[in-house]
Structure 1
Amino acid sequence: MVVLGPNRYGKAETRIVRVTRHGDAHRVKDLNVSTALSGDMDEVHLSGDNSAVLPTDSQKNAVYALARRHGIGAIEDFALLLARHFADSQPTVHHARVAIEEYAWERNGASGHSFVRAGGEVRTCVAHYDGERAHVVSGLRDLVVLNTTNSEFWGYIKDEYTTLPETRDRMLATAVNASWRHDAPAGPSEAWPSGDWDKAYDRARQALLAAFAETYSLSLQQTLYAMGSRVLGDCPGVCEVRLSLPNKHHFVVDLTPFGLDNDGEVYLAADRPYGLIEGTVLREDAPDAGPAWE
Structure 2
Amino acid sequence: MGIVLGANQYGKAETRLVHVARAGEPHTLTDLNVSVALAGDLADVHLSGDNGHVLPTDTQKNTVYAFARQHGVASVEAFGLLLARHFVDSQEPIHAARVRLESYSWSRLGPHSFQRDGGEVRTATVTYDGSTATVVSGVTDLVLLNSTDSEFVGFIEDGYTTLAPTTDRILATAVTARWRHATADGDWDGSYAAVRSLLVEAFVGTYSRSLQQTLYAMGERVLTARPEVVEVRLAMPNRHHFLVDLSPFGLDNPNEVYFAADRPYGLIEGTVARDDAPAAGLAWW
Tell me the TM-score normalized by structure 1: 0.95
| Residue 23 of structure 1: how far off its partner (Å) | 2.8
User: Partners of 1:24 and 1:78 in 2: how far apart?
Assistant: 23
Give 2:139's aligned amino acid: L
Query: Contact 2:40/2:94 (CA < 8 Å) preserved in 1?
Result: yes
Where in structure 2 are the equivalents of 1:178-257 lying within 5 Å?
Answer: 178-184=177-183, 192-193=184-185, 195-257=186-248
* CA deviation profile, 1:237-276 (whole Å, cap 9, x unmatched): 1111110000011111111111111111111111011000
Contact 2:127–2:284, Cα closer than 8 Å, also in 1 = no
What is the match of residue 41 of structure 1? 42
Deviation string, structure 1 residues 205-229 (Cα, Å, up to 9, x no partner): 0110000000000000000000010
Q: Which residue number in structure 2 is paired with residue 187 of structure 1?
A: none
**Counterpart residue identity of residue 36, structure 2:** T
Runs of 4+ in structure 1 deviating by more than 3 angstroms, as ranges, are none
Number of aligned positions between the proteins = 284
- Equivalent position amino acid for 1:248 in 2: R
Gaps of 5+ in 2: none
- The answer for the alignment partner of 2:6 in structure 1 is 5
Shift of 1:113: 1.6
State the Cα RMSD in Å.
1.0
The secondary structure found in structure 1 opposite 2:233 is strand
2:249 to 247, 258, 267: 258
Structure 2: distance between partners of 1:79 and 1:290: 17
- Report matched runs for 1:144-183 at 5 Å: 144-183=143-182
Equivalent residues of 1:127, 1:292 under 8 A apart: no
In the TM superposition, 1:16-55 aligns within 5 A as 16-55=17-56
Q: Pairwise mapping of residues 21-170 of structure 1 onto structure 2 (< 5 A)?
A: 21-108=22-109, 111-170=110-169
Alignment partner of 1:72: what SS?
A: coil
Return the offset for 1:22: 3.3
Asked if 1 retains the 8 angstrom alpha-carbon contact of 2:146 and 2:170, the reply is: yes
Mark the runs of 5 or more structure 1 residues left unpaired by the alignment.
185-191
Contact 1:135 1:292 in 2 (8 A): no
1:25, 1:139 → 2: CA distance?
A: 27
TM-score when normalising by structure 2: 0.97
Q: Is 235-244 or 112-121 further displaced after alignment?
A: 112-121
**How far apart in 2 are the matches of 1:26 and 1:259?**
58
| Percent identity of equivalent pairs | 64
